[in-house]
Amino acid sequence: MIARLNRGSKDGSTSTQAQQYFVIPVGVAKTLPRTEGWGKVSFSKFPELQTYLARWDLIRDTLGM
């Protein structure tokens, strides 16, 4: 799961937005593009990210609920 806390921005803005939670299956997460060195996932290069917003059903399905 990815949590965007939305507590401000890189440009120094202190305005906040509601938090966002993305539930991404492990198989999908492993295929995401990563930066050199640290291996950080670049979510701006993952156009399908919004399809995983608040997808709690994926967790329920995995747990068999």
Q: 4: Cβ–Cβ under 8 A, 6 or more apart, which residues?
A: 19, 20, 21, 22
What is the model's pLDDT at position 43? 81
Distance CA 23, CA 49 (A): 9
β-bridge pairing 2-4 and 20-22: antiparallel
Q: What is the pTM of this model?
A: 0.72
Domain ranges, ordered by start, for the chain: 2-7+23-63
What is the model's pLDDT at position 51? 96
What is the model's pLDDT at position 59? 93
For 12-55, what is each residue's pLDDT tens digit?
667 778 889 999 998 998 888 888 888 888 888 888 999 999 99
What is the model's pLDDT at position 54? 94
